[in-house]
Amino acid sequence: MKRIIILISGNGSNLEAIINACNSGYINGEIVNVISNNPDAYGIERSNKFNIKTKIINHKDFDSRIKFDDELENYLSELKPDLIVLAGFMRILGKKIINRFANKMINLHPSLLPLYPGLNTHEQVLKNNDKRHGISIHFVTPQLDAGPLIAQASIEIGSDKRLDQLIKRIHTIEHHLLPKVIKEMCLDNIYLDKNNKVIYKERDDYLQSRFFVEMNV
């Protein structure tokens, strides 16, 4: 069974979706620790509800980004993770820690990358009158939100352009796609080769078609 670490900063709704998928047996993995850089993150309560060990490493306790990264890297190393999932983790990690866990760290980003890396993606989509919005799951590299894409899901924005409703719909597809990706990674069916190409091991064309989808929610 794979050892999974989840990094969060906020609400933790994706964390709970992953927990439920693990508890049901859908994911052949165990969440051995949830790490938050925000001591007030509601995701900590979600983790505690399921008796999952939680660690707070508050970035405000460190006088440099490097020192925060070093503390996080040391703690992660102790846990010996097979997979590290950044699920609403709002810190940019440095090259050293990313390279230490190369090919083991994935990030969920709320846009159809390469569109809108960084913050405020929903607002940018609405401001630019885009017709579609979505999410991307990618391997983490030192370049912000630019790692090899594993999966994407998109929705049509339509006539309802209320920000809160758009965010709600995006959360729905996040909760659907992220556990699916984690499931396949825990089965070693998705990985990076030596050329940093994403490989879908079992029935490559079938798996890939499942992870680049348009959804109606």
Contacts 24+ apart (CB under 8 A), 95-103: 95/142, 96/66, 96/69, 96/70, 97/69, 97/70, 97/72, 97/73, 98/140, 98/141, 98/142, 99/142, 100/73, 100/76, 101/76, 103/139, 103/191, 103/192
Q: Are residues 116 and 64 in the same domain?
A: no
Q: Are residues 130 and 201 in the same domain?
A: yes
Q: Are residues 17 and 117 in the same domain?
A: no
In this prediction the pTM is 0.95
Q: How far apart are CA 36 and CA 52, in angstroms?
A: 13
Is 138 part of the annotated catalytic residue set? Answer: no
Q: Are residues 113 and 207 in the same domain?
A: yes
Query: 137-194, pLDDT tens digit by residue?
Result: 999 999 999 999 999 999 999 988 999 999 999 999 999 999 999 999 999 999 999 9
pLDDT of residue 215: 81
Question: Is the model's pLDDT at 210 over the cut of 80?
Answer: no
Q: Are residues 202 and 180 in the same domain?
A: yes
List the one residue out of 40, 39, 36, 42 whose CA is nearest residue 7. 36
- Kindly give, in sequence order, each residue whose CB lies less than 8 Å from that of residue 96, ignoring residues fewer than 6 positions away: 66, 69, 70, 73
Query: 45-103, pLDDT tens digit by residue?
Result: 999 999 999 999 999 999 999 999 999 999 999 999 999 999 999 999 999 999 999 99
Question: Is the model's pLDDT at 21 over the cut of 70?
Answer: yes
Structural domain span for residue 7: 1-101
pLDDT of residue 206: 56
Query: CATH number of the domain that 40 lies in?
Result: 3.40.50.170
Q: Are residues 96 and 197 in the same domain?
A: no
Give the model's confidence band at 211: pLDDT under 50 very low, under 70 low, under 90 confident, else very high.
confident
Q: How far apart are CA 55 and CA 53, in angstroms?
A: 7
Q: Which of 50, 76, 101 is the last residue of a domain?
A: 101
What's the total number of domains in the chain?
Answer: 2
Catalytically annotated residue among 109, 122, 133, 138: 109
DSSP letter at 212 equals E
